[in-house]
Structures are given as C-alpha cells and as structure tokens.
Amino acid sequence: MALYEGIALIQEKQAVVLDLGTDYTKFGFTGEAAPRCIVRSEFWCPATRRYRRLHDYRSAAELYDNLVHMLHQLYFRHVLVNPKERKVVVVESLLTPTLFRETLAKVLFIHYEVSGVVWADSPRLCALTLGAPAVLVVSIGAKDVEVAAVVHSCVVLHALQSQPLGARAVHAELARLLDEHNGGPLHLDDQVIEDIKVKTCFVTTRERAAQWSSERPPQPARDVRYGRVTVPGRARELAAEPMFQRDHELASLPDAVLQCVAACPRDVRRALAAGVLVTGGGAALPGLRARLAAELRHLVTQAPYRDTLHVREFKFHDAPSAPNACAWLGGAVLGAGEAGAGRVLAREQYAREPRLRDWVCLLDNTPPAHPHRAYLDI
Amino acid sequence: MAYLTQPDYVKYICSCGQLKPITSLYFCRHCLKIRCGFCICHEVDSHYCANCLENMPSSEARLKKNRCSSCFDCPSCFHTLSTRATMAQPRQVVQDPAAGGDTKVESKQPKKMYYLSCFNCRWTSRDVGIPDQPVASGGWPERTNPHAARVNQLLEYYKAIALQEKQEKIERERKKFNIRGKYITLTDKTGLTGAMARNIAGLPSSESSSSAIASFVPSQAKEEVEELPEDIFTKEVNLNQITSMPQRLASPEWQPPSVSRLHPLAKLLSVKRSQRCRACDHNLTKPEYNPGSIKFKIELLAYYHVPEVKIISHEPVKPGGKSALLLKLTNPTGHEMQLRLLQPEDIPPPEEKEEPKSIEKSLERSLNLEKDTSSLKPMEVVCSPTATSRVRAPDATLTLAQRDDAAEYDDDAQHDTNDIIMWRKSNKLALRLEVVTDEGVAGGAPAVAMVALQYSYRNTVPPAAAAAQPRDHTLYTTVLLDLGTVSSN
C-alpha cells in the first residue's frame, strides 16, 4: 500500500490545505484526517523583537509581508515541503475581506509560485465532512459567529448570519467578571484569559442562567485558584453568557440560528433544523451544544419565531474531527478527490487575468442570460 | 559577533528594494546582483532530526509524517524526552502453567526495561499508563486517529462521485458523437460491453464505484447532545489535571483535554534549506548533507563579494551643518578592487541587453508570450529611503588590495595617507568624509546618510563554453548609514 501511495505522490504532489484563522492557523496535507499543525496565527518579527499577529495590518503591503513570513514559517518549520509547484486549498470564510483574499493570492502565486489554488468557503467544507444533504453550519470563530445554511452543497447566501459573538466576546466577558471579583483591573494577557477559559470555564444550563439573572442566584460552582487570580464560580459559569444574551435586536447566537432558518426556503427549514453542526474553536467549550439546543427549543416556541417558524425538532451532527479543524478537514477531503482538481485556479490562468472569483462580485454572480450581463462583458 | 547583537547601523539596498544589513544578503554571481531572503526562492534540501542528527530521505520523511522514529518530545513541556532504563523483575509466572518451563527460567534474572522521562518537568511515560518497552529505541505504541475510518469512507465516497461524474461526461460526449455519425463503434460490433472492456483494461468497474456511493451513510444527526457532567457544579477543579491549549494543539489529531491522556510526541524533523536565485535559477546557498555540519557546499553571501562599510565614528548631525564621518571599507574578495563613492542619483540605470541570439531563442520567446507570465513578476518593494544627510563624495578612485589572510598578522598600518584616507591596512581602508545635512530636518529625527558605491568586481565563475563574458564588471550598490538622531540645535 505504501508503495502505491509513493507512486501516486510522484505523479501529483500532495496538495496542502491552509486555514488562516484569526487566532489559530490550521495547515496540513489533503487526504489526511487531521492537520499537521495548529499554531497561533503569529510569527516572530526580529525588527520589533516581538510576536506579530498575522491579521494586524494597516495596508496591503504590510499584509503581504505578514503573509510571506507566516507561510514561510508554516512551510519550512511545520510541514517541511517546497511550496513551489504544489497546489493549495485555501479554506476561507465567506466574509473574508477582499483585500485579504487578493493579497493571499498574490503571495501564493507570485512569491511562493504555487501551481494552483482552490478557494473553498468554510460552510460548504464543514458540510462536506458530513455527507448530509442539508446542514446548518454554526461556526464559532475567534471573532465572529457565522451561521450558514448549506443545502446540497450550496450556501443559501441571503440567509447568512454573522454576529460578533466568538471567542473574543467570551474573553472580554471573562476578563470583566474577573476584574469585578478581584476588585480592580487585572490587565491579564489575552493568552492567560484564554488559558483560564480553557481550563475552568463551561457553559451553564438554561435554568441556572435564568436563576443567575433572578433575585436568588444559585449555589455557584467551586472557585478556582489560578496563580494569584481567583476565578470565582460565577465567572466560570457566566463567561459564555454574552453568546446567549438577548436584547431588542435579537442578536444572540440562538437568534442568529433561528433567523438563518427562517430566511431559508420553506421546504428546507425542517431538514436544516434537523442537521445542525456546531464547529469552530469556540464550540469546544463544554456544555455549549447542550445549551444551544435548549435555547433553540425554547426560543422557537416564543414570539417572533412562534408564528413564522414551524420547526420544533432540532438535531445535531457530530463531525469526524475536532471542532476547531472541521473546516480544515473539509478542505482535505475536497483537495484529495478529483472534484478539487476541477475547481482549481491555475497559475497560468491567474497570470492571464489576476482576479479571483467572488460571490459578491457582479461579474461572477450574474447569470449568462441576464440582461445586465451585456454591460459586464466589456 | 557584533553583527548579531548590534542594531544594523549600515544597511544595503537589495536589488528588490529591501533594506538589509550585509550579513543577511546574498550575492548572485550569475546575475551579479545583491539578493535578500525576500527575493530568492527557498527550497527544502534535506530532512534531519535535530535531536539525534539522523538524516532521513525525503520519501521516508513523507511516509513517517515528518516525525523522527526514535526521538520524542514531552507532551507536557515540549522538552526532549530521555529514555531511562530500569531493572524490572518480571512477574512470577508460576500461576500460569501454560507458559511452559523456559519462561520460568527467564523470569529468574531481572530484565532491562525502558521508559521515557522528561528531565525538565518529571513527566514519564508511566504517568499515562504506557507499558515499559524491552528495547531502548522505537517500539512505542502508535495511536491512530479515532476518525480515520470515517475520513477514509468520506474520501472514497467523494472519489467515487468524481469518477461517476467523469464517466457520465464521457458517456454524454459519446452519445453526442453517435448522433452525429453513423459509424458502428467497435463495442457495438463485437458485442463487447463497456463493463467488460473496463474489466479487461483493469479499470475499476462502474459497479464498484457505485457501491461506494451506495454503501455510504451520511452523518446521522442526533436529538440528544452531551450534557454537562452532573458534578461540574460541585467538583473541585484541579488545574494540574487539565491540559493547556499548546498541549492540546501539539497533537492535532487527539487534542486531549486531560493530562492523563497525553502521549509522547514523536519529534518533528527539521530541514536544511537551499536558496536559489529567482532570476537565473542558480543556487545561492546549498548546505552540506551531513546534519552535523554547519558548512555549505555553495555559499554566495554578499559578505564575501560586496565591499563592506562600517562606521568608525561620526560627529553629531546638525540640521544645515557639516559633520565629519569616519568610514571603514573592506574588500572581501581575492582580487584588487577599484572603488568610488557616488551620489545615489549618479548610478546609471541598468542597461537592457536583450538581443535574441538565434531563431530558437526568438521562437522560445514568442512561445512564452502565449503563456504570458509578465504579471507574475515578483513583487518589488519600491522603497524610497529618505536620507536626511548626504555624504560629500570625494572625486577619487580608491584602490583596495585583495584579501590576504597572511596580512592579518601584519601590525603596522601603511601610512600613505592624504586628506581623505586616514589609514590603510591590507584590504581595509579608513576614510575621512564629510556629511552635509539638509536645512529643514527637525531635531530628534533619525539621521540617515545615503551614499552609493561603485566597485569593480572580477567574476570568477568559469565562463560558459561559447560565450566569452567579460570577467571584470563595474557594479553599484547603495548604502544607508544610521547616524543616530539629528541634534536639535
């Protein structure tokens, strides 16, 4: 078996899959079940003598520099392959800024001379790891929570929901609760906050969350001594509450999910609700899926959804990977088959016309028979 | 050594526009241009383990997922694990009559058993229940990804779908062809069916691909999700039992949440890199294959080819004033060097010498036009370094002797000094120059002086058989000197 694999590899170099997240970057080979490395999206900058975050940039030139350094580190420190003449599957959010995509394309094609790039959006890739026809992908990233409905490998674009309720929101709330308990600002580093969150925090149940906001709070979970900081039980339970806090704008996580379902065509709503997939690094918080399920089942019987949404059953998928590498795994599956090869943007093609297809661009989303098409093909 | 610890006082402008100290620059002998890490092509040359300094061929490294088979890292603190040996008294096998007599004899003497231990954080492989091994290296149990089977199913399923799509496409095209033409195809005439033909050719039959599709079960969503454990509200949290993010992410396949599930991490290999010039595809550096060696087979560093500029001392820079500047120039090459200081504007633009030599060349070029890759030129950083000061360049050609290692031991400096040359010693030269600063520079701003060098360079590359290239070249480079800050008065 190993011999045949070797022969296949000589014919076509195994492509790499790149997922440049806000906090963590996932990088590895296609056809494998897990990424080779999950590292923080930052690199050592010798000029300033500190780590620099990939997504901290003010101009295109700065971003180009950041990407060159980051990819150099990924290729030569972690995955140890030549970037040249090798295909790349880029896993990206549907809401990636155009500047970022185009700069990344420039870095890959011009600086690293890769032979082709497959641009794939994360909701579809997450759905690909399940093989199910209708999936509601709730991806909880570092910054944003994105809810996208994928029906037969098509994203229902107008139903796409995004709220700034990712890990950063949890970190900010945890920092606030810790400051409150310890009396005064602690100025904890973001990585320390993350460590406290990972080791101690969980998402409390719906009943207890209601009790916490009532007159008589419940018996809190045990306090934890973390170095010189005391992490109170209240902070452990309530750190993830911003995700579920509802206001008049209905911008909480369960609201986003229900709004996404409501915006979808009527005949897939039931199938979508019966196929929810919670992914992203933020989804690893214990109890998050249970709480989301409880909230969804409760909210759907309340006003405004009670009358518009006649879905009562919510079911949850288990992806065949850790939640933080789910979209990456989709990219690895896509890139391994021949299906990925057909969707590749080859280097020659990019050289002829250096632009990327994008779903927001009228050049790409106007059908050929549309009357406006004539004005676009100049 | 001063280069490693000091800030870079003297920076050269690379041919791509980056500013770098001379120690991080390369010099391509074929293009005769300065290159830097940004504008060259890095390549993986060889894999090796940084701990046991064992070379690994790249095909083997690929199969072993770039991991060393005998070295391990601590999963807790990422220090290298050491193998410890203990004398273990094997368990008495008296209770086991089926084992036979000879095992009983063996059990009398203690056996050497090995386990892994971290000298930094005292983690051992016994902590997590990995049995001790009878051999010192290798043989440690390997874990498989819990999702591997499912991922393989997925891969097969999507491969089958892609295959089916392809076949349908071919079928469709054939039908189109059939409608147009009225020829009898070979398969129709001989009664050879498509499945049989496929069987003879050794291709997977269409049934098998459809069976992969048919047997695939999409993921089943479940009503119930894992609830929080009941005791989470009452249980004491032991921080030492929970892994941190770096510990989890060190093994992306498992990401263990508790310390008791940590396994030794096979050490990631390191690579030796070789560098290649993008313009001419020649190697700039190539390391030796032996991992223990830090030498290079090819080492075209700017430090060995480009005259080196060092600042000896300078007077404080005042706006609108003149200040003295003492520079040391060194010729690192084995040939005598003629050197002139210029203003950066005086550098002649590089002349384009593009003449198609033969028909083949021009044909090649016209072919290249088709797959036009002109837009794929590497990005050039157009940096316009702002110099606050100018070096008043003396109108004289300076001669630097070749590098002579024996002359290093000669103490007395030659004193053929004049108003510019302060002293001269084998291949080194100290210059007394004047720096003129602009009137409008604000005090406190960083003072940067710019000067261009024109130097003769003798190319020692054996010339190609046909082309008799000139061996002596006149090259230019621009240097930025950091002169502290502009004083305010």
Q: What is the DSSP string of B312-347?
A: EEEPPB-TT-EEEEEEEEE--SSS-EEEEEE-GGGS
Residues A207, A227: Cα–Cα separation, whole Å: 31
Q: Is residue B261 in some structural domain?
A: no
User: Which of B47, B143, B226, B249 should one mutate to test binding to chain A, selecting the residue with the greatest count of A CBs within 10 A?
Assistant: B249
Q: How many CB atoms lie within 10 A of CB B70?
A: 16
Q: Is residue B299 in some structural domain?
A: no
Q: Bigger pLDDT: B103 or A139? A: A139
Checking ipTM against 0.95, whether it exceeds it is no
**Side-chain-side CA neighbours of residue A156 (13 Å):** 25
Closest partner CB to B379 (pick from A110, A321, A333): A110
pLDDT band at A97 (very low <50, low <70, confident <90, very high): very high
Answer for the pair A121, A92: CB distance below 8 angstroms, yes or no.
Answer: yes
By C-alpha distance, which of B85, B49, B45, B44 is closest to B69?
Answer: B49
**How does DSSP assign B183-250, residue by residue?**
PPPHHHHHT--HHHHHHHHTPPPHHHHHHHHHT--PPPPBS--PPPPGGGGTSPP-GGGB--HHHHHT
Q: Is residue B412 in some structural domain?
A: yes
Q: Which residues in chain B have Cβ-Cβ distances shorter than 8 Å to A279?
A: none
Residues B351, B354: Cα–Cα separation, whole Å: 9
Residue A27, beta-bridge partner list: A18, A37
* pLDDT, mean of residues A323-331: 94
Amino acid, res. B278: R
Lowest mean pLDDT of A173-182, A218-227, B104-113, name the range. B104-113
Q: CB-based contacts of A280: which residues, under 8 Å, 6+ apart?
A: A138, A139, A140, A141, A145, A166, A323, A324, A326, A327
pLDDT at A2: 44
pLDDT band at B190 (very low <50, low <70, confident <90, very high): low
* pLDDT, mean of residues A330-337: 89
pLDDT at A3: 46
CB < 8 Å from A in window 29-58 of B? 38, 41-44, 47
Please name the residue of chain A whose CA is at the shortest distance from the CA of residue B151: A33
Closest partner CB to B245 (pick from A68, A198, A226): A198
The verdict on pTM exceeding 0.90 is no
A38 CB within 8 Å of a chain B CB: yes
Cα distances (Å, whole numbers) of residue B426 to A242, B287, B408, B423, B460: 73, 31, 8, 10, 21
CA torsion sign for A86, A92, A94, A97 is negative
- Phi, psi at A72, each rounded to 5°: -60, -45
pLDDT at B184: 54
Q: Which of A171-180, B307-316, B358-367 has the highest mean pLDDT?
A: A171-180
Answer for the pair B287, B297: CB distance below 8 angstroms, yes or no.
Answer: yes
Pairing of β A224-226 and β A161-163: unpaired
pLDDT at B1: 41
Residues A198, B243: Cα–Cα separation, whole Å: 8
Please determine, for residue B416, whether its predicted confidence score (pLDDT) is greater than 90.
no
Domain ranges of chain A: 2-126+324-376, 130-165+251-321, 167-243
Q: Which residues in chain A have Cβ-Cβ distances shorter than 8 Å to B223?
A: 313-316
A325 CB within 8 Å of a chain B CB: yes
pLDDT at B204: 54
**How does DSSP assign B414-451, residue by residue?**
B----SSEEEEETTEEEEEEEEEE-TTPPTTSEEEEEE
Residues A22, A28: Cα–Cα separation, whole Å: 17
Task: Report how far Cα A191 is from the mean position of its chain's Cα atoms.
Answer: 19
Residues B218, A132: Cα–Cα separation, whole Å: 5
E strands, A177-237, where?
224-226, 229-231
**How big is the A-B interface in CB pairs under 8 Å?**
188
Q: Using alpha carbons only, what angle is made at residue B91 by residues B86 and B97, rounded to the nearest 5 degrees?
A: 150
What are the pLDDT digits (tens) for A39-59?
A: 999 999 887 889 999 999 999
pLDDT band at B99 (very low <50, low <70, confident <90, very high): very low
B360 CB within 8 Å of a chain A CB: no
Please name the residue of chain B whose CA is at the shortest distance from the CA of residue A286: B228
pLDDT band at B186 (very low <50, low <70, confident <90, very high): low
Lowest mean pLDDT of A186-190, A292-296, B127-131, B418-422, name the range. B418-422
Q: Which residues in chain A have Cβ-Cβ distances shorter than 8 Å to B162?
A: 337-339
Answer for the pair A124, A330: CB distance below 8 angstroms, yes or no.
Answer: yes
By C-alpha distance, which of A357, A202, A371 is closest to A288?
Answer: A202
Q: Which residues in chain A have Cβ-Cβ distances shorter than 8 Å to B44?
A: 76, 80-82
Closest partner CB to A317 (pick from B158, B221, B237): B221
- Which CATH number fits the domain A2-126+324-376, given the four candidates 3.30.590.20, 3.30.420.40, 3.40.50.11820, 3.20.20.10? 3.30.420.40
Closest partner CB to A321 (pick from B147, B242, B376): B147
Q: Is residue B420 in some structural domain?
A: yes
Tokens 């032996």 locate to B290
Residues B267, B64: Cα–Cα separation, whole Å: 11
pLDDT band at A321 (very low <50, low <70, confident <90, very high): very high
Nearest CA to CA, how far is A373 from chain B (Å)?
27
Task: Judge if A130-165+251-321 and A167-243 fold alike in CATH terms.
Answer: no
Tokens 């580093």 locate to A189
Tokens 């002596």 locate to B472
Q: How many CB atoms lie within 10 A of CB A286?
A: 17
Domain count, chain B: 1
Q: Which CATH class is domain A167-243?
A: alpha beta
What are the pLDDT digits (tens) for A187-214?
A: 999 999 999 999 999 999 999 999 999 9
Please determine, for residue A5, whether its predicted confidence score (pLDDT) is greater than 70.
no
Task: Report how far Cα A145 is from the mean position of its chain's Cα atoms.
Answer: 8
Closest partner CB to B150 (pick from A132, A320, A322): A320
Closest partner CB to A132 (pick from B219, B236, B371): B219
Tokens 């979808």 locate to A264
B245 CB within 8 Å of a chain A CB: yes
pLDDT at B422: 85
Q: Which residues in chain B have Cβ-Cβ distances shorter than 8 Å to A226?
A: 239
Residue A145, beta-bridge partner list: A140, A163
What are the pLDDT digits (tens) for B451-485?
A: 899 999 988 776 655 455 667 888 999 999 988 88
pLDDT band at B419 (very low <50, low <70, confident <90, very high): confident
CATH number of A130-165+251-321: 3.30.420.40
Please determine, for residue B356, whether its predicted confidence score (pLDDT) is greater than 50.
no
Q: How many CB atoms lie within 10 A of CB A49?
A: 7
Q: Which two tokens stand for residue B280?
A: 């001419």
Q: Is residue B410 in some structural domain?
A: yes
Q: Which domain holds residue B447?
A: 307-350+381-485
Instruction: Determine, for residues B223 and A200 on separate chains, whether the beta-carbon distance falls below 8 Å.
Output: no
